[in-house]
Amino acid sequence: MVRTIVLPGGPPVLSNCPFIAVTRVTMTDETQSAGALAGVKVIDLTRVLGGPYCAQMLGDHGAEIIKVEPPQGDEVRDWGPPFHEGDASYFTGINRNKRSMALDLSKQEAKDVLFRLLEGADVLMENYKPGSLEKWGLGYEEVLSKRFPKLVHCRISGFGGDGPYGGFPGYDGIIQAMVGHFSINGEPETGGVRIGIPMVDIGTGLFSSNAILMALLERERSGKGQYIDMTLYDCGLALMHPHVPNYFLSGKTPGLTGNQHPNISPYDKYQTKTCEVFVAGGNDRAWRRLASEIGRPELADDERFSSNAGRLENRDALRAELAAVFSEVDGDALCDRLLAAGLPIGPVRDMAEVMNHPHTAHRKMRVKQDWYEMAGIPIKFSRTPGSIRRLPPKFAEHAREILKEHGFSDDDIAALAADGALVEERRKG
């Protein structure tokens, strides 16, 4: 199987990948809509959040994503309510632009199908427990790297396959606790709390997408694929900025600061007459302008507040001064005025307010197709914009069409289904 990638401008070039012919042509509207990753094929064995989030991002920008689910299906299909036709919102939010099939990889016939899929693939993603693929005869070093030397294999796990926690299961909240997120998130009066979004899973998905793209870029020079070892633990720890450098430079263990920032002041939430607002001083220049705009220019000249270091040292006194000012004003009007003046301030909004705001619509961050209504695509390319080409798939919805595209006959498919290697109805338990 040979596929063509269209790249902008210049003469034709050769790809290092035996499965991809790369041609450079002038971009047109038709090629533009295909996305920046058109021609890249990803076999996605991941489930839950980090891997599917990564795969959706690649799919949004044109990569072909074949989602291969286990016989029980991706378990987040059940993580509701709310549901749409049996699939939870947790699933539909991170699985667009994919096709779905399901294989029982404990069976040799299913492994043979996977090998057929990989013959034309650029990337294999999976988040099985370390050692699972090796147990099934699908290990990277022993099998995949030799059979598919240009394949990029990205594994996402909780802690990796070795070390003190090697092989242990990892979940977002557990990793948040273990890498310090709880220790810096929350109010001193109430104690540490979990960050309200699955930041470790999402962050791991973002890191993994970067890693995959870097590996594909390097492959264009070396002609070789490679194994990528991604863990929730590593990614969760890497997100702990500025607390890691603060710890090493100060020798002090960071603690809870609530809404305030450990390195900047003012940086906090305040109640106004109409709403809560969040204010960021940013730097000394912005602080002086803020003080002037709120009618308290003398605060900028107060020796306690004239520098960021002073404002940090006297943050309680500064907060009292600002709270008194903000409590007497219309928060929405204040935010509009200060934002127009170039100062960092914003109203605290709930989900309904955010999704119905005109700027959300203007940035195309609320999208709707048929029943599907979701956040839009955050990466905005000038020539090769992403798009929503497929709605989240039902379990094994595309199994037979995918198999036929890869050379399986109707009789072959019937035999795979009869044997249980191809799974078309979710198994319980």
Q: Is 215 left (phi over 0), alpha (psi -120 to 50) or beta?
A: alpha
Tokens 């409590």 label which residue?
327
35-239+394-419 and 267-355 share one CATH topology? Answer: no
The closest alpha carbon to 123, from 68, 161, 165, 170, belongs to 68
- What proportion of the chain, given as a percentage, has pLDDT over 70? 93
For 172, the 3-state DSSP assignment is: helix
Say what the pLDDT of residue 201 is.
98
**pLDDT interval class at 407 (50, 70, 90):** very high
Q: What is the pLDDT of residues 75-131, one digit of tens each?
A: 999 999 999 999 999 999 999 999 999 999 999 999 999 999 999 999 999 999 999
- Measured CA angle at 202 (ends 201, 205), to 5 deg: 90
The closest alpha carbon to 158, from 173, 138, 141, belongs to 173
Residue 150 scores a pLDDT above 90: yes
Answer for the pair 34, 216: CB distance below 8 angstroms, yes or no. no
Say what the pLDDT of residue 25 is.
32
Catalytic: which of 201, 301, 350, 411? 201
Peptide linkage before 392 cis (omega within 30 of 0): no
**Best CATH choice for the domain 267-355 from the list 3.30.479.30, 3.30.470.20, 3.30.1540.10, 3.40.50.300:** 3.30.1540.10
Say what the pLDDT of residue 15 is.
39
Say what the pLDDT of residue 282 is.
75
Say what the pLDDT of residue 28 is.
35
Task: Return contacts of 389-393, CB within 8 angstroms, 24+ apart.
Answer: 389/97, 390/59, 390/96, 390/97, 390/98, 390/99, 391/96, 392/87, 392/91, 392/92, 392/95, 392/96, 392/98, 393/67, 393/95, 393/98, 393/99, 393/100
Q: Is 201 a catalytic residue?
A: yes
Mean pLDDT value of segment 403-410: 97
Bridge partners (DSSP) listed for residue 83:
88
Say what the pLDDT of residue 210 is.
98
- Interhelix angle 199-222/50-60, rounded to 10 degrees, is 50
Residue 19 scores a pLDDT above 90: no
CATH fold of 35-239+394-419: Rossmann fold (3.40.50)
What predicted TM-score, i.e. pTM, was given to this entire model? Answer: 0.89
Mean pLDDT value of segment 262-271: 95
Q: Kindly list the domain boundaries of the chain, sorted by start residue.
A: 1-34, 35-239+394-419, 267-355
Q: What is the pLDDT of residues 158-178, one digit of tens each?
A: 999 999 999 999 999 999 999
Bridge partners (DSSP) listed for residue 99:
66
Bridge partners (DSSP) listed for residue 8:
25
Say what the pLDDT of residue 122 is.
98
Say what the pLDDT of residue 62 is.
97
Q: What is the pLDDT of residues 205-217, one digit of tens each?
A: 999 999 999 999 9
Answer for the pair 67, 101: CB distance below 8 angstroms, yes or no. yes
- What proportion of the chain, given as a percentage, has pLDDT over 90? 90
Task: Determine which helix (DSSP H) or strand (DSSP E) holds 375, and give its type and residue range.
Answer: strand 372-375
Distance of CA 421 to the CA centre of its chain: 31
Mean pLDDT value of segment 181-186: 96
Residue 327 scores a pLDDT above 50: yes
For 126, the 3-state DSSP assignment is: strand
- Would you state the structure tokens that stand for residue 154, as one six-digit string? 């990205």
Say what the pLDDT of residue 183 is.
97
Quick one: the chain helix, strand, coil %, rounded to 5? 40, 15, 45
The closest alpha carbon to 17, from 40, 46, 44, 47, belongs to 40
**pLDDT interval class at 31 (50, 70, 90):** very low
Say what the pLDDT of residue 13 is.
36
End-to-end CA distance of the chain: 37
| 345-347 and 276-280 strand pairing | antiparallel
Bridge partners (DSSP) listed for residue 107:
none
The closest alpha carbon to 242, from 309, 180, 316, belongs to 180
Mean pLDDT value of segment 325-336: 95
Compare 309 and 31 and report the one with higher pLDDT.
309
Say what the pLDDT of residue 30 is.
38
**pLDDT interval class at 281 (50, 70, 90):** confident
Residue 420 scores a pLDDT above 70: yes
Give me the chain's average pLDDT, please: 92
